[in-house]
Structure 1
């Protein structure tokens, strides 16, 4: 409601516009499971009246994922048009309940969650514009918290290794970031070379995290956690496949390591099994991929001691959403800031700013608080849905 006695706010969705943005990479970025050849994202814009809200749907992998996303969003479109976006969690829950039977038969719950995440993020941005309130304030108010929220949130640098290790570590230090995350899950020799190079540049005291991208089985993870742990690794992210929490619990019991994960766990309900695991220190839902904003926020409010540290390897909307989520979380963690160049994060919009002490400012403008550069958006646009009206900008 907008005031005492006012009618409840409604935001019927009148139009959905989808843009695929792409920025080719000069060099491939190796991962334990594949390699990144281009930065890509899908922007989803919802219009209600003269208001627009824009979200992001993750399409890093596979390389043809953006084509699937267009088809999925086109299939979802009839279920969203005319729906009320004024209660994004209710909209997200209704869409998930309606479509997950199809997703199970299709064998593709992940792509569906990724598409719904973009719609959910756009709905929150739209609601923020209508309420003239930043996302963090909306999330805190929904949880019953009305006190002041932080102006900045802590960040760490990610994407270090297996290439450009020294350069990226130096970049993190220059930017004042208080921790770095290394990519592991390659060979034992490569993984040890990465952590040794980080320590050679940063010294023994910088907090270092390790991300294996689900590359190991239990015996390999036990051995590698011991070898890498000798260099002071503070948490191991996705050391095992994320669909077997019982194996993660066993690994933590055997090794005593602190665990992090969640970027491949779909839905807040599934996240509960991980939040309850002993040694699980950081929940990492991805607001553009696994849960949208609504369920990422719900995951951060699950019982337990795990902190909310969203996974963020996308564009500007994902980063802004992550900052707002951490600012509003009851157990705030860290925001992930990829150290490799990504113009889809840095060039298409102005939003959270990195301070001299390695924190990110929480936007105070309505919704996600992003100010888009239309020329940059157009420059990186590979595809846009035909519009029956004036082509809207993602703002």
Structure 2
């Protein structure tokens, strides 16, 4: 039986390709923790997670001092057991973002190692439901952009075969959001999907008010209309509008998704593999949503989520926000507006080790003698 003998930790800071502004924040950087796991048979697996500009050093400290040392000597194939052991090892800080992000970096590394040892791509090892998935783009829909820019980007992406665009909402007045959405709809026609995202920026009364505009524009969903911990607010909003309510990027446990699904507070689940704590809990949430006949459309991390949405049957879309091109040897494969997962064993991401090393702002190795 192979055991884990060494863990390498790194963190890089990626600057966004474009300016990204939503209703509550500006995305200024992506701190990206990496975990590389080595086993006694020579196997290697690499995983990662991310923060939007803050918290990365805290994630690395938890990995360095608590989680990575606990992996030494463990059987890397026991992914479920390891995940639960590490969760309870950090019970005083779970459920929470820092713990989940650290767990995700480890869990994705273990899945990468397992898939490589089995000579299977992740999308097949985790289910193999479909060989490709339609894309919608977020990169041209940020809140600070002028209406003409929104329209031009949507038209361009439609011409490239993309099936939809996400437009950030949360302008000072409802009329401004309405004008932006109406201009995009007029340009792309009725068959092109428009998603909207408020980034938790509204009160319940304002969300109900703006949902009427979204209905008139035929949008695909109303994403994060309210603070993520306001389950009952989302229940009330869901009762007041025909627009599907999408939530999930700001949730950190499967139980939080359970509460939303049982309450009828959301009809689209946007579980984020990094923020939920890895592939192991991501798959549980996706299958739980399937049992409720609810669609999964994950948030960000398109290069990793590509394999996961192709693994499960209830995922319709992949969000297009490129961020890893500077540290990978090849971009995500796109054909006629659809993303195609890699058939190479592992996560399906071809890392550029030299580029990662050059961008590293933290590096540490954990061994049995540490």
Q: Distance in 1 between matches of 2:31 and 2:179?
A: 30
Q: Single out whichever of 118-127 and 156-165 deviates more from structure 2.
A: 156-165
Q: Which residue number in structure 1 is paired with residue 283 of structure 2?
A: 297
Task: Call closer, same or farther: CA 1:202–1:296 in 2, change over 3 Å.
Answer: same
Q: Which residue number in structure 2 is paired with residue 263 of structure 1?
A: 249
> Where do 4+ consecutive residues of structure 1 move more than 4 Å?
386-389
Question: What is the CA deviation profile of residues 105-130 of structure 1, one whole-angstrom value per residue up to 9, with x for unaligned ones?
Answer: xxx72111111111111110011111
What's the offset of the Cα at 1:279? Answer: 6.7
Q: Which runs of 5+ in 2 are unaligned?
A: none
Q: Which residue number in structure 2 is paired with residue 362 of structure 1?
A: 341
Q: Single out whichever of 252-261 and 194-203 deviates more from structure 2.
A: 194-203
Q: Which residue number in structure 2 is paired with residue 7 of structure 1?
A: none
What's the offset of the Cα at 1:277? Answer: 4.1
Q: Which residue number in structure 2 is paired with residue 69 of structure 1?
A: 59
What's the offset of the Cα at 1:131? Answer: 1.1
1:191 paired with 2:177, answer yes
Task: Call closer, same or farther: CA 1:28–1:137 in 2, change over 3 Å.
Answer: closer
In the alignment, which of 359, 377, 390 is matched to residue 356 of structure 2?
Answer: 377
Q: Distance in 2 between matches of 1:345 and 1:295?
A: 27
What's the offset of the Cα at 1:203? Answer: 2.8
1:80 paired with 2:51, answer no
Q: Distance in 2 between matches of 1:44 and 1:277?
A: 37
Counting matched residue pairs gives: 358
What's the offset of the Cα at 1:347? Answer: 4.8
Q: Distance in 2 between matches of 1:362 and 1:227?
A: 36
1:51 paired with 2:31, answer no
Question: What is the CA deviation profile of residues 63-83 of structure 1, one whole-angstrom value per residue up to 9, with x for unaligned ones?
Answer: 332222211211322222222
1:224 paired with 2:210, answer yes
Q: Distance in 1 between matches of 2:302 and 2:335?
A: 15
1:182 paired with 2:170, answer no
What's the offset of the Cα at 1:345? Answer: 4.2
Q: Distance in 2 between matches of 1:360 and 1:13?
A: 33
Q: Distance in 2 between matches of 1:193 and 1:26?
A: 27
Q: Which residue number in structure 1 is paired with residue 142 of structure 2?
A: 161
Q: Distance in 1 between matches of 2:358 and 2:151?
A: 32
Q: Which residue number in structure 1 is paired with residue 319 of structure 2?
A: 336
Superposition CA RMSD, Å: 2.4
Question: What is the CA deviation profile of residues 247-303 of structure 1, one whole-angstrom value per residue up to 9, with x for unaligned ones?
Answer: 211111122321111111112222112233437332111112223111111111112
| Alpha-carbon contact 1:150-1:362 (below 8 Å) kept | no
Q: Which runs of 5+ in 1 are unaligned?
A: 1-9, 141-147, 313-317, 390-395
What's the offset of the Cα at 1:94? Answer: 2.0
Q: Which residue number in structure 1 is paired with residue 84 of structure 2?
A: 93
Q: TM-score, normalised by structure 2?
A: 0.89
SS in 1 for 2:130: coil
What's the offset of the Cα at 1:173? Answer: 1.8
What's the offset of the Cα at 1:380? Answer: 3.1
Q: Distance in 2 between matches of 1:345 and 1:192?
A: 34
Q: Distance in 2 between matches of 1:168 and 1:253?
A: 33
Q: Distance in 2 between matches of 1:217 and 1:23?
A: 32
SS in 2 for 1:120: helix
SS in 2 for 1:20: strand
| Alpha-carbon contact 1:23-1:40 (below 8 Å) kept | yes
| Alpha-carbon contact 1:261-1:284 (below 8 Å) kept | yes
SS in 1 for 2:334: coil
In the alignment, which of 278, 296, 306 is matched to residue 323 of structure 1?
Answer: 306
Q: Single out whichever of 199-208 and 255-264 deviates more from structure 2.
A: 199-208
Q: Which residue number in structure 2 is paired with residue 5 of structure 1?
A: none
1:307 paired with 2:299, answer no
1:128 paired with 2:120, answer no
Q: Distance in 1 between matches of 2:38 and 2:116?
A: 11
Q: Distance in 2 between matches of 1:247 and 1:319?
A: 29
Q: Which residue number in structure 2 is paired with residue 21 of structure 1?
A: 12
What's the offset of the Cα at 1:226? Answer: 0.9
| Alpha-carbon contact 2:101-2:274 (below 8 Å) kept | yes
Q: TM-score, normalised by structure 1?
A: 0.83
SS in 1 for 2:33: strand
What's the offset of the Cα at 1:386? Answer: 5.1
Q: Distance in 2 between matches of 1:95 and 1:386?
A: 19
